[in-house]
Every structure is written in C-alpha cells, then in structure tokens.
Amino acid sequence: MAARVKFSETTIASSSTSIPIPNPSDHPDHYDKKPFEGHAKAIWAVAYSPDSTRIATGAEDNLIRIWDSKTGAMLLELEGHSRAIYALSFSHDGTRLVSGGVDRTLCVWNLHDEKLVGKSSAAHSGSILAAVYSPDDTVIASAGFDTLIRIWDANDRRKTLEIADHPDVVQSVSFSPDGTRLASGCQDFKVRVFDVRTGALVLGPLEGHTNWVRTVSYSPDGAQLATGCADCTVSTWDATTGSMLRGPLRRHDDGVYCLVYSPDGKNLLSCSLDGSICLWDSVTGELEAGPLRGHAGGVREVRYSPEGDRFVSVGGDGSMRVWDVKTREVILPELTEAEKQDYLLAGPLRGHTGAVTAVIYFPDGRHLASGSMDRSIRVWDSRTGQQTIEPLLGHEGGIRAITMSSDGSRLVSGSIDHSIRVWDCSTWKLALPPLKAHSGTVECVRYSPTDNKLIASCGEGGEIILWNAETGQHLSTILSQDKKILVIAFAPDGLRLASGSEDGALRLWDVSTSQAIPGPFTRHPGAVLSVAFSPDGTRVVSGSSDHNLRVWDAGIGNRYLGTLRGHSHWVDWVSYSRDGRSIYSVSSNAEICYWDVATSKLALGPLKAHGDIIYGAAISPDGEHLVTASADLTMKIWDTTTGEMVKLSEGNEPGLADAFLDSPAVTAPDATAPGQMPIGLDSWEGVANILDLPATSRPILHDQRGRRRAEQPSRSRTQPRPTSITEPSYGLSRPLGFFSSIFRRLQPSNHGAEPADRWRHLGALPTRVAYGVAKLYVAVAREGPPPPQQAAISEEELSRIPDQTQATEVSGPEQHPSNSQQGLPASNIPWIIKAVARAASAHVALAAEH
C-alpha cells in the first residue's frame, strides 16, 4: 500500500510527518496494477512536476496521487481533503505541491524532503477552483466560488492580498511569466488582469465570450492570453492591449474545461466535457490536430510535460492518459484497438448550446426530440447521435418541457416565454398558433395517452390548463390552492391527472370535470419535482427535493405505500418501466437510480451520469433504454438492464446487408417537380418505411457556404466522413445517419453510356441508389413519362452503376436536360412507381404505370 498522509483539522498546521516513497519490491501487489490505476471517481486536476518524472492528480475520491510519469506506477497517495479536489500546482522548483477543493481547504505539501507543511481549512468560504504557484514560488494565488482571489505567502501561508472585483464565481487564474500580473476567468463571461502586488485591475474586463470563462492561460512569452469557455469556444488575446487576436475558435461540442500553451508557445492544447482534446496553432488559430479522443467521459484537465514532447489528460471517467505530441497517440496506458474504437463510439448526443431541459422518444424508438434553454428543439437519431432536421426555432425563451402524441405526428413544447407551441412532425412547422394562457413559465406539458385529443399544461402561476389538441382551443383551467405546480402526468387511461407542486402537495384530478379527486396525498417535506403513474394506473410515484421517492396507491389518495431512499439530491424525474417492475429516477446531482418495485430496494446505482444537473429523462418504447438530458449541454443513452452508457453506432449497420424492399405501388405527390426527389418519403402513400427506417421529411443540412454540414466540424463524434458526392438542397429522407453513406448519384446527363442509356430507354432515370455489402440496390424512378414495361438490370450492368456516381452535381430541376424537353408542370406527374429490391439476387426490378 502506498503511503497515506493524513492531516489534523486545525486551521493552520505544520508537521514533520515523513512521506516515504515506496520501493516497488516492498509492494509487489501494488506494482502489478495497470498504469494509472487507482482513482475510483472523476479526476478533476492534474499537474506535471518540473523535472517531468512525476504526475500529480486530484480526484472526486478526495485523494491526491503522485505517479511515475514513465511507468504509470503510483508513488504516493495523499489523504488530507474531505471533499473533491479541484486544483493542483507544483512549485517551480518541484519541492512542493498546493491543492484545493470543495472542502474550501488549501493544502501545501512538501515533496522534496517528504515532510508535511500545513493546511488552511478556511482559505475560502466556498469551493476552491484554482490554486497556482507564482513563477518565483514566493506566493500562491487561489480563487473559487466565493468570487474572491486571494494571494498567500508561500512560506508562512499568510494571506497578503485579496481581490474582490468579481461579481461571480472565479473559475481560473494564471500568472504572467514574470509574475507581475494575474489573469482571471469568471462566470460573468469576462476576463480580467490584475497587478499581483497591489491587486489593481490593469486590463479588462475583456468581453467576447457568451458563457462562463472556465480557463485562462498566459503564453510562455507573456504576449498572449488564451481563454476557454463554456460556450464551446477558445479565444486568444493580446496580453497588453486586451484585443482579441483569434476566435472564438470552434471545434469542441461542449464546454472547454482547460487549456494550456506548449512550452515553446507555438501550440495551444484544449480539452472539453465532450471528451475531446484539440491542438491549435497559437498564432493562426488553425486546428492542427483533433478532436483527439481517449476518455469515455469529459476531459477535465490537460497539461504539457516541461519538455513539451508529451501531455497528460484526465477525465470524468477516472482515467489518465499520457499522449505523444508528435504522433497524437496515447502511449500510457497502452490502448487496444477495441478500446480506441469504444472511445470513438461511446458518448453523449451534443449540439445544444444551452442546458438540455427535456427529452422524449418518438414512438418508433429510433428518434429523440430534445428541448433546451438555447430556445431550440432538436431531433436526433438515437443510434448514431446525429441530428436529422434543422433545429426548430420559434420560442422567445428557453424550453422547459416537451411531449409528443402517441402516434408521433405532433410535438408540443412549453417555454419560459409563457407559451406552448404545437409542431407538425411531417412538415416541422407549427400546426397551430402559439397557445397563450399561462401567466408564467410553462413547467410541464403532456398529451393525453389514449386519443391524443387533449394537451395538459401547468405553470408557475399554479394553474393547470386543458387544451383541444386539434384546434388549440382553451377548454378549461384547473386552479389549485397549491403554490407553483411543477409537474403533471396523465394516468394510462387518460381519465385522471396527477400534479405535484412547489409546496410538496401531490394531487389527483378528474380530467372530465376538472375537479380534484378526494385526498390529498400526504405532502412531501420538499417540493414535488416529478410524478409518474404505473403502467396499470394503480400506483403513483413521486420524486421530491427532499431527496426521496414516495409510492402511493392511485385509487386511495391517502394510502402511502413507502419511501425509496438512495439519492443524495433533488429527484428531478421518475418513471415506471414498461412492465411496471422497476422504477427509474434521476437526481439533480447527475445520478441515476434503478429500483425494484417488488422489494422497494435499490437495484442499481446511484450511477454518476453527467457532469452537471440532469433535468429530464425518457424511457424508450421498448423499455430497453433510458435517455437523460443535462445542464452539461448533452444527452446520454443508458441500458436499463446494465446501467451502462449505450455506444453510438457507426454509419453502416450489419443488418443493412440483409434488408430488402418490396413495397406496394405508391403514388408520387403532385408537388413533385420533374428532376426533383419528393421532399420526404412519408408523403408517398404505401411507403411507411425503407429498410425498417421510418421516413421523415427534412432538408439536408447545409452551412452558409452551401456545403454539407458533414464537411464541417461534426456535432457528433460518429458522423460519417464526407464523401466527394454533393447533393441537392432537398433529398431523400434519411432519419438514420448511415443513409448519408449509402447513397450515390448517377451522372444524369450521360445518356449515351451503358447502363444509363438503358434506364433512359425506360423513361425513368434513377438518380438514387442505396446499397449494402450484399449488393442491395433500391432504385427510385423519378423522371419522364411512365415506362410501359418492367426491366431487370443484369448483375454486370448493375455493378457498373456506382462507377458513374462521382460526376455531376444536380442541385435542382433546372439543371437537368430532361426538364426543358418534358416541360411538365409539377401538377401533371401523378405517376405510380413500384420498386422491388432483393439482396439475394442483386437485381433491380423497376416498374411504373400511369
């Protein structure tokens, strides 16, 4: 066992306690461990020793560990903090280490002569987020939740200066190379620079970020400042004038947690809660490498070795990685190819720029909708993590709640702008004018589960409103004597409604009469934040700010069945499993619990799921997955059996090779113009799905330059790499990401070449061909008059089709020569197509008739 050094609880203490460095031969059991194996929880802080031989880490398990940087063997385990450790810094002579954390304590460790120096248990009145030695090691600067920066004498640990210029939490501090200035990053989105001797503000506040400035760093020559922000960006500044030099630089999909200059100042290394690391050119702002991935969770900190040939990263998954700067590969511990692939595939869904407050599954189980404080609704492919439509915008404030009709045809959102919006899921436009009757934030919205005829909503004004889901008519208002109603839920039969309020009241309501069903339930000691019925409607479970869940008999309101205890924070969401045997709950400290209904015992958890508050969750229709939505801007999908995070899949799935299409005759809509694909297959009668994929109308995503979004920095780590194929602004619906990699385009103008000539002879030129590894082809005729006969394309001809797909881009009907020849208006093309594709034969039969 490595040495443990424990401190007394005195405010300022000194000790000569020895910290022996263990001999490997004395501890063979420990040195048989894998490199960097030790921390049981998230690692928040890391530091390289000045001689590069040691790496120090501080973690959520309250421990500091010192590691051999070359082997990954643990040398020391230092125990002195009572809570998570957020900050570490070696002195520049390598003899001491300072640490700070949630326990508000600043500790100084002597590592040269193995003696304990001391500890201040009241260094700050809130968590310490930053602690760093000055370049000459004479002072220590610390900062944190109490909005203060304090300067301490490094020898006697006396406070010599206090800077109180910040209106919010100070996330980070950095000394200039000459030690005369100190830069700070604050949660007020601003950067400031102070005189270390006087505490006077000498530069700033510098503005440009749109969220918390989480990290700040001086360049080695002192000419630049670099900042990383919770808005996912990196910026560099002139350290003399304060002007922004480069930025905001965007490549991360989540908040930038740490950044540091290389020792030569040429590069800048940044890491993010999205699990990625990026290497930037500090002069041009160009991305040189990345995003690099080697952690299953967010990357909390990165640090260069003093020589600059390596860097170390630590993650929320409790892992450490040492990277080679030249190869950009993890060199310690050695990762298998399978592990590398896991890091690429495992991960959250990212794209929102504000806290994700609500999420729901589509009835198909393949898609998700999410709402965020960034005022947008986004629709996702749950298997690949890709967005399938452009964000839905319309609310004037953040979105607090979403719900969906049981048939998936409509999506409803509620906002802090006091309004409710109903979206048509076939056009992604508003189906109704905004519904406005609430006097404050709309806290929750629900569709009636049986007939989709009612929408129920509740607001901070204490009212529940029932709406006609088809017309938007305000049907009735239920006025409760309770304080702000936070949550509602329909019973499975749609006849009752449960509500939970800020004052702890839980009530049942008769939907037909809008009257309370006699009760009430016994109040929670805290606010009721979540409520759900069992699948058979006989029970209700509620979650509260008192950290507990309570189970009630839904038929007899006064009958209390029991309390489920296991969370250590507010229970923000609860749900029964589809079979009613389990209860799932999530709490605001980002933990998930699985409960056994029969025993009322915790079956799994608490599982740490996110880096910030979980606001909402949803169960998939098949009950196999749980998706969580968090203030860390992400969503994650979990296996409801094992509790493990589900990996996002690659583009092409194995099942594609065995799929086939044999659909009945379908009619192309009148709105389909010659030379254009129908905007969505959902508008084609008879084609409910292709390759078991629900059809959805949507535009292909483009950036402002008209390029495919796939060619830009991806919002999903698994988005397929772009091909040379370009596509028109509207195309075949592809709810799943792998559609983008299985479609190719034929050269439309090459009518004289085989086999295109044969297709032209039939009067129908296919310009979309889907294929899999078993030569599965689906051809859709879309041009010219209906052909009079069927035609089978031989395997030889079929094999030549993809070779002609790399040529001409067609972005609209005006670019195709057949349009001018046909001269047919869009309203005169009601022709019928029948497409039959079979993987076994590698033949395509295509028929069309008037």
Dump pLDDT digits (tens) for 238-252: 999 999 999 999 888
Rounded Cα–Cα distance for residues 143 and 166 (Å)? 11
Average pLDDT across the chain, whole number: 76
pLDDT of residue 418: 94
What percent of the chain has pLDDT above 70?
70
pLDDT of residue 610: 80
Q: Which amino acid is at 367?
A: H
Predicted TM-score (pTM) of this structure: 0.53
Q: Above 80 in pLDDT, residue 792?
A: no
Burial 379-409 (b: 16+ CB within 10 A, else e): bbbbbbbbbbbbbbebbeebbbbbbbbeebe
pLDDT of residue 298: 80
Rounded Cα–Cα distance for residues 97 and 846 (Å)? 74
For β-strands 276-281 and 106-110, DSSP reports them as unpaired
110 token code pair:
């002597």
Please calculate the CA angle 46-50-51 and round it to the nearest 5 degrees: 115
Q: Above 90 in pLDDT, residue 19?
A: no
Greater model confidence, 505 or 87: 87
Q: Which of 333-347, 693-707, 787-801 has the lowest mean pLDDT?
A: 693-707
Question: DSSP strand E in 306-398: where?
Answer: 310-315, 320-324, 329-332, 349-350, 356-361, 367-372, 376-381, 392-393
Q: Any residues with CB less than 8 A from the CB of 705 and at least 6 apart, and which?
A: none
Q: Above 50 in pLDDT, residue 22?
A: no
Band of the pLDDT at 691, cuts 50, 70, 90? very low
In this structure, the chain runs to a length of 850
Q: Do residues 556 and 592 make contact, with C-beta atoms less than 8 angstroms apart?
A: no
Using a 10 angstrom Cβ sphere, with 0-12 exposed, 13-18 middle and 19 or more buried, the burial of residue 60 is: buried
Q: Above 50 in pLDDT, residue 703?
A: no
pLDDT of residue 558: 56
From 244, 234, 242, 200, select the one nearest 214 (Cα to Cα): 234
Band of the pLDDT at 666, cuts 50, 70, 90? very low
pLDDT of residue 605: 86
Beta bridge partners of 321: 313
pLDDT of residue 37: 87
Q: Above 90 in pLDDT, residue 468?
A: yes
For β-strands 4-5 and 74-79, DSSP reports them as parallel
541 token code pair:
């479970």
Rounded Cα–Cα distance for residues 282 and 217 (Å)? 12
Q: Do residues 275 and 655 make contact, with C-beta atoms less than 8 angstroms apart?
A: no
Terminal Cα distance for the chain, rounded: 82
Q: Which amino acid is at 101?
A: G
Q: Do residues 498 and 507 make contact, with C-beta atoms less than 8 angstroms apart?
A: yes
Domain spans of the chain, in order of start = 4-345, 654-849
Q: Above 90 in pLDDT, residue 446?
A: yes
Band of the pLDDT at 114, cuts 50, 70, 90? low
- Tell me what the mean pLDDT of segment 671-678 comes to: 33
From 223, 148, 158, 235, select the one nearest 191 (Cα to Cα): 235
Residue 711: phi, psi to the nearest 5? -80, -10
pLDDT of residue 74: 92
From 740, 741, 791, 796, select the one nearest 765 (Cα to Cα): 791
Rounded Cα–Cα distance for residues 445 and 447 (Å)? 7
Q: Above 70 in pLDDT, residue 675?
A: no
From 41, 152, 38, 131, select the one nearest 86 (Cα to Cα): 131
Q: Which of 49-63, 422-436, 597-611 has the lowest mean pLDDT?
A: 597-611
pLDDT of residue 814: 31
* 3-class secondary structure, 386: coil
Q: Do residues 183 and 227 make contact, with C-beta atoms less than 8 angstroms apart?
A: no
Dump pLDDT digits (tens) for 418-438: 999 999 999 999 999 999 999
* 3-class secondary structure, 338: helix
* Domain made up of 4-345: CATH architecture: 7 Propeller (2.130)
Rounded Cα–Cα distance for residues 825 and 345 (Å)? 47
Distances in Å between the alpha carbon of 255 and those of 34, 250, 270, 315, 727? 30, 11, 10, 14, 32
Please calculate the CA angle 376-378-383 and round it to the nearest 5 degrees: 160
pLDDT of residue 347: 61
- Tell me what the mean pLDDT of segment 21-47 comes to: 69
Band of the pLDDT at 81, cuts 50, 70, 90? very high
Q: Which value, in Å, is the radius of gyration of the alpha carbons in the chain? A: 30
pLDDT of residue 557: 52
Burial 174-205 (b: 16+ CB within 10 A, else e): bbbbebebbbbbbbbbbbbbbebeebeeebbb
Q: Above 90 in pLDDT, residue 109?
A: yes
Dump pLDDT digits (tens) for 729-788: 222 222 222 232 223 222 333 333 343 343 333 333 333 333 232 223 333 333 333 333
Dump pLDDT digits (tens) for 546-585: 999 999 888 765 577 889 999 989 999 999 999 999 999 9
Band of the pLDDT at 162, cuts 50, 70, 90? very high
Q: Above 50 in pLDDT, residue 667?
A: no
Rounded Cα–Cα distance for residues 641 and 527 (Å)? 30
Beta bridge partners of 604: 594
Q: Above 90 in pLDDT, residue 192?
A: yes
Using a 10 angstrom Cβ sphere, with 0-12 exposed, 13-18 middle and 19 or more buried, the burial of residue 366 is: buried
Rounded Cα–Cα distance for residues 308 and 52 (Å)? 10
Q: Which amino acid is at 65?
A: R
pLDDT of residue 202: 98
Dump pLDDT digits (tens) for 276-308: 899 999 999 999 998 898 887 789 999 999 999
Band of the pLDDT at 3, cuts 50, 70, 90? very low
Q: Above 70 in pLDDT, residue 657?
A: no
pLDDT of residue 523: 80
Dump pLDDT digits (tens) for 351-389: 887 789 999 999 999 999 999 988 999 999 998 888 999
From 279, 187, 274, 176, select the one nearest 220 (Cα to Cα): 176
